[in-house]
Chain A
Amino acid sequence: MDEKEYESYVKKVTPTTSLAKNMFMAFLAGGIICLIGQVLINLFIKMGLEKETAINYETLILVFSAILLTGLNVYQKLAKHGGAGTLVPITGFANSVGSCAIEFKKEGQVFGIGCKIFTIAGPVILYGLFSSSLLGFIYWIYTLFSH
């Protein structure tokens, strides 16, 4: 089997439909989570809350629900099908915090839960904070010259 034959063989046996299917499932799962978010925001605005406050309550409920579903081992099952659809929304972040905390509780309050709760949250917070501060520094220099 020469190289070309091998390549075409690999192409043939590699499932090509799986990416399309994964994308569709991610679209569906992510779309539904965002839709729920929008329903909550509109509901809170209808109840008379300011938009910012409505968004805060929406975030709170999404995070709470995601962690509850994580504890009940439901979110993990959804994530198996939803892929990026369950990872990309804020609920994916909440899931990673909750699941790490639960998984390592046997290792103790400090070095188990205390450390491991930051397994994913730590890098996300660190690099988000670092890049926003770096850009904030550039923005600060810009404000010095624009006033």
Chain B
Amino acid sequence: MDYLKAFLIGGIICAIVQIFIDKTKLMPGRIMVGLVVLGTILGFIGLYQPFIDFAGAGASVPLLGFGNTLMKGVKEAVDSEGFLGIFLGGLKTCALGISSALIFGYIASLIFNPKTPD
């Protein structure tokens, strides 16, 4: 059941975003920024965590989940540190995603060469 939910929900989110891409011709970068920002908003109003609890990886793997993780970090840090938490929380919870992408990305740039279009 876990697997079916992850597949269906994750797939549906991507299919909906595909409509946006086809209808608006937005560049991938803008789509990604939009998803992360939307994720922070959904996290802020408390909708996204229940959604993750329901859909598992179907909700956490899309970049919406990345935004939710950011928001979660800020909220938790505000709860424990007050005002400073606004600046402490975000990068803490999404550190793994950012660090791993940058570190592996850098290593990849040392190993691989750009492919010339054929």
Which A residues are closer than 8 A to B by beta carbons?
18-19, 22-35, 37-42, 55-56, 58-60, 62-64, 67-68, 70-73, 83-85, 87-94, 96-98, 100-103, 105-106, 113, 117, 119-121, 123-125, 127-129, 131-133, 135-140, 143
Complex contact B18–A132 (CB within 8 A): no
Q: Which listed residue, B32, B71, B111, touches A92 by the CB 8 Å rule?
A: B32
Residues of A contacting B: mostly: helix
Question: Which residues of B are found within 8 Å of A123, using beta-carbon distances?
Answer: 29, 32-33
Complex contact A136–B85 (CB within 8 A): yes
Complex contact A85–B37 (CB within 8 A): no
A72 nearest CB neighbor, chain B only = B112
Question: Which residues of B are found within 8 Å of A18, using beta-carbon distances?
Answer: 22
B73 to chain A, nearest CB (A): 8
Question: Which residues of B are found within 8 Å of A121, using beta-carbon distances?
Answer: 98, 101-102
Residues 1 to 31 of chain B near chain A (Cβ within 8 Å): 2-3, 5-15, 17-22, 28-29, 31
